[in-house]
Structure formats: structure tokens, C-alpha cells
Structure 1
Amino acid sequence: MLQAAMLKVIQEAGEGVLVLIEGVAAEEFQRSRLTRQEVRRLLNLMAGTLLALPCTTRQALPEIDWGSWQALQHGLASPALDADELAWDAARGLVPPTLTWLRVYRRSEPALFEFRP
């Protein structure tokens, strides 16, 4: 049950990222402090929640790029790296395939996504 709630958080955060960057060019993203902050917040939420999933759940979702999510989490927390550039790259290159795989897994492994009392 907890994993279903976590997967929902991941999906909703990812959809939020995609809404925020829809039709936005990299230069616009760099100029919009509020958009950058919110995208980074949602990416941190996604990464933290993904990486906090139980090991058995992570194993059931092998196509998720776990290494990239872990690297993103560390990168966004590092003052030595450009968090805005990392966020832009992740929003465009990591979020869409993650959401796609979650949709695939929802069909093939529906029990992972079910809320049970």
C-alpha cells in the first residue's frame, strides 16, 4: 500500500515537471527563477521517493534508470554542480521515460499501484 502511494507521488511530481517545462526553451527556463525552483523541488521529490521505494519494488521496475536518479539526487544537492542545468536535463531526458515506464508497469504489474486497505 505504501508503495502505491509513493508511485502516485512520483507520477504526479513528474507530470508537474512536464507541465512546467512544456513549450519552454532552455533560455526561458534559465531566466525563470520560480520555474527553476519548482522543477528542482519536484525532481528532488521524485528522486527521493524513487530511491526510498522498497528494494522489492525497485527490482520489479528494472527499466527505471535508478543510477541516473541517484546521480541527479546527489547532483542537485551539490553546490559544486549547476543544479539548474541538471534540472533542465533531467526534466527533458529523465522524467519522460520514467513516466512512460511507470505507465507500462501499471499495465503489466497493476498490484504495485493498487491501494489496499
Structure 2
Amino acid sequence: MIEAAMLKVIQETGEGVLVLIDNVEADEFHRSRLTRLEVRRLLGAMAETLLSLSDAVQAAMPEIDWGTWRSVQQGLRVASVDSDELCWDAAHSLVPATLSWLRVYRRSEPALFEFKP
């Protein structure tokens, strides 16, 4: 199932974001061009992949904040100070919440995460 592979990408990109911001303060994040760019890239990949999931899979995971992910996707289209703040906020709140819900769904809806030939 393609969605299982997509969910794995979402998990991995989210974990990558969390590794990059671990023990990083906001001012340090804003000064670090490389960290900002990589967090932005990973958030973009995460948003694109999440929003490319089928309607059925999205409906099976109602606690994921789909509307905010759409806003993140749109906000990342333009590089600006506002998009840097968007990245910081998403990395600290939206990503951890999404990964937490994915863990819950992995237990309650394991079929969504199974790779099938």
C-alpha cells in the first residue's frame, strides 16, 4: 500500500525536524541559515506527503490537524521572516502532535501502516 510508505516518510521527516531543533532556542534557530533551510525542506516534504494521502486515510485520522498542515504548505511557498516563524512554530507544536497521533493510529489502525505487495 502506497499510503504505508507515505506514512513512513512522514514519520521520518518529522523525526528529522525534531532532531534538528533539539536543544535549539528560537534566536539560535533564526540565526542558523542551514538549520532553517533544512527544517523548512523537511516540513515541506512532510506537509506535501501528508496532504497527498488519500481522502480515506485522512478521514481515518481525524485528529491530525489537516487545516494547519495546509496552511503550513501554503506558508512555505514564500521565503520570508514570517515563513521562518511558521517553521519554528510548526516544528515545536504541529510536528510533535502529528507524530504522537501517528503512534496512536499505528496501534489502533495498524492496517494503514502495513506494507502489502
Report deviation, 1:79. 5.1
Alignment of 1:63-102 (within 5 A): 63-78=63-78, 82-102=82-102
Normalised to the residue count of structure 2, the TM-score between the two structures is 0.97
Residue 80 of structure 1 deviates from its aligned partner by: 6.5
Alpha-carbon offset, residue 45 of structure 1: 0.3
Identical positions, percent: 68
Aligned length: 117
When the two chains are superposed, the root-mean-square deviation of aligned CA atoms in Å is 1.0
Consecutive unaligned residues in structure 1, runs of 5 or more: none
Gaps of 5+ in 2: none
Instruction: Show CA shifts across 1:47-75 (max 9, x none).
Output: 00000000000000000000000000001
Amino acid at match of 1:70: R
Q: Distance in 2 between matches of 1:111 and 1:81?
A: 41
Q: Take 1:101 and 1:76, find their aligned partners in 2: how far apart are those partners? A: 23
1:115 aligned partner, one-letter code? F
Corresponding residue number in structure 2 for 1:44? 44
